[in-house]
Amino acid sequence: MTANVAQSATAGTSTIGFLPGFGALVRRELKEWRRARRSWMVFIFSALFLTLASLNNWLISVLPGDVTEGAEPPILDPLMNLVSPIATHVFVIAAIFAVIALITAERESGTLAWTASKPVSRSAIWMAKFATASGVMWLLAAALPLAATVAVVVVLYGSVPATTVAALALGMAMIIVLYMAVALAASTVVTSQAAVAGITLGVLWFAPMLGAFLPDPTFMPWAILDWSVRLGVGQPVSIVSPISWALAVTALTAFSLRRMERMEL
């Protein structure tokens, strides 16, 4: 059979390029995100949290009430009121919850096996999910809520430099990409949504704590949001953070693609 196989291996098939099926898979993913209720929920949750958190100091300053003796007066600096809500990473948590089922639910329902039985590469399946989840979550959990928050801040506290907003948007995109990679990498290892959420939230909460023991936490990939904030407010930044972030995303992607190719469906 080997000889026959070798002779006719290419007969009757088309040229299969790099990441076959990627474009069609991305289109399907986008369609699914457009229809999904969770897209709206992420946007509403993230936008409400960021805008209400930025309103907080203004509300304290205008609402009459008892002021505890010795309490700090509310900070009305536009930059602080823009950056503080973002630094909580709440928008990342919303994005994580939106993607924990992306692979596990498809694996459980059989649609992952169905798609994988077509002339697409499993790497293309993972890459399509990663690319669309990162893009959509950046838009819905970060960019649009950021725009709303900027509007609130400008109206209530005063203007913020466009470069700061651009740097924050970049940092939010990069941190979302990182945690989408963590969640989707976890999805190639464990099969339950709870386990994916546990691993990803574990990385989100505990890894920075571990980083605190390091001489320089900026070496860690999750320092990328701090890095972008510093960049936005004009403080000196190290090139190490984006390099560390890029290495982490690349390593997670390589790990996931390897796991996908070996997955028994």
**Contact positions toward other proteins, by CB under 8 A?**
1-2, 4-5, 7-17, 20-21, 24-25, 27-28, 32, 35, 109-111, 113-121, 262, 264-265
Q: Are 251 and 240 in contact (CB under 8 A)?
A: no
Nearer Cβ to other proteins, position 19 or 60? 19
Instruction: Give dist(CA 178, CA 172) in Å, integer.
Output: 10
Instruction: Give dist(CA 87, CA 223) in Å, integer.
Output: 11
Nearer Cβ to other proteins, position 61 or 111? 111
Instruction: Give dist(CA 135, CA 85) in Å, integer.
Output: 21
Q: Are 144 and 216 in contact (CB under 8 A)?
A: no
Instruction: Give dist(CA 30, CA 185) in Å, integer.
Output: 20
Could you tell me the two tokens for 159? 């203007």
Nearer Cβ to other proteins, position 15 or 159? 15
Nearer Cβ to other proteins, position 115 or 134? 115
- Least distance to other proteins, CB of residue 33, Å: 12
- Least distance to other proteins, CB of residue 30, Å: 13
- Least distance to other proteins, CB of residue 261, Å: 9
- Least distance to other proteins, CB of residue 10, Å: 7
Q: Are 176 and 141 in contact (CB under 8 A)?
A: yes
Nearer Cβ to other proteins, position 1 or 209? 1
- Least distance to other proteins, CB of residue 60, Å: 45
